[in-house]
């Protein structure tokens, strides 16, 4: 009576071979995937949304109220900086940073954390305050800052934008929403009106099409 002989390597089918060496194959697939991602990352082939962000934090202006003058007999002027943008209609609720430097590398670093108030532009309720942030069409991103100003183009004239400081909420009413051509300046603004300008772009400082929203200051409301 003949004994059963297991199939030799030459008699194994393709699926049997794959199953037999499944652990080796899994290791090779993971190793090749890791090496491919690393090479693409180093040569700039990985989208920014998938990159690991560990940028140093620049020295920021304080987001609380600041007294400009305390001379006896002189009216005290107070400046408040934004810390959050809330637009209920389009689901925006993002922090705002206030960098002291307008260096492009500093601004791009701050964009990794949310929206950014451009240094030297207006403040809450005073002048034209310019705030910009990222937007993306990618549904799933590791860094939510890339979705800070998603759907900005959906705003309409008359919509309300809330900008918060630590103590107050400043309400602005939208007056215009426009697509700015890539050949135009990023944003032009003056301080003769108390207003807000919002803009969204992929990399600050590079010319490209972007949406710009302008809004007029209405009133401020104490948060507490």
> What is the fold, at CATH topology level, of the domain defined by 60-222?
Sortase; Chain: A; (2.40.260)
Q: How many residues does the chain have?
A: 224
Strand ranges in the chain using DSSP code E only, listed in sequence order? 66-67, 78-79, 84-87, 92-97, 115-117, 128-133, 160-164, 168-180, 195-200, 210-222
Domain-by-domain residue ranges, the chain? 9-42, 60-222
CB 181 within 8 A of CB 210: no
Q: CA-to-CA distance for 198 and 182, rounded, in angstroms?
A: 16
The region of weakest confidence among 54-68, 76-90, 131-145, 188-202 is 54-68
Structure confidence by residue, pLDDT tens digits, 101-117: 989 899 999 999 999 99
Judged against a pLDDT cut of 90, whether residue 40 lies above it is answered with: no
For 111-132, b/e burial (b = at least 16 CB within 10 A) is bbbbbbbbbebbbbbebbbbbb
- Mean pLDDT of the 55-66 span: 41
**Token duo for residue 153:** 């183009």
- Mean pLDDT of the 76-100 span: 91
């Amino acid at each position: 009576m003949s004994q059963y002989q297991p199939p030799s390597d030459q008699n194994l089918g393709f699926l049997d071979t794959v199953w037999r060496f499944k652990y080796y194959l899994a290791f090779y697939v993971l190793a090749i995937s890791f090496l491919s991602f690393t090479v693409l990352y180093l040569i700039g082939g990985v989208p920014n949304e998938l990159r690991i962000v560990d940028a140093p934090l620049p020295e920021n202006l304080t987001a609380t109220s600041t007294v400009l003058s305390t001379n006896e007999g002189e009216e005290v002027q107070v400046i408040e900086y934004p810390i959050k943008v809330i637009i209920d209609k389009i689901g925006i609720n993002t922090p705002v940073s206030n960098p002291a430097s307008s260096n492009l590398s500093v601004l791009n670093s701050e964009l990794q954390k949310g929206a950014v108030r451009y240094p030297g532009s207006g403040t809450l309720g005073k002048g034209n305050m310019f705030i910009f942030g990222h937007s993306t069409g990618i549904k799933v991103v590791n860094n939510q800052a890339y979705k800070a100003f998603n759907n900005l183009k959906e705003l309409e004239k008359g919509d309300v934008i809330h900008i918060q400081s630590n103590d107050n909420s400043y309400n602005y009413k939208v007056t215009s929403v426009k697509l700015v051509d890539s050949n135009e300046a990023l944003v032009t603004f003056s301080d003769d009106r108390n207003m807000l300008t919002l803009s969204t772009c992929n990399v600050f400082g590079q010319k490209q099409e972007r949406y710009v929203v302008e809004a007029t200051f209405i009133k401020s409301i104490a948060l507490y």
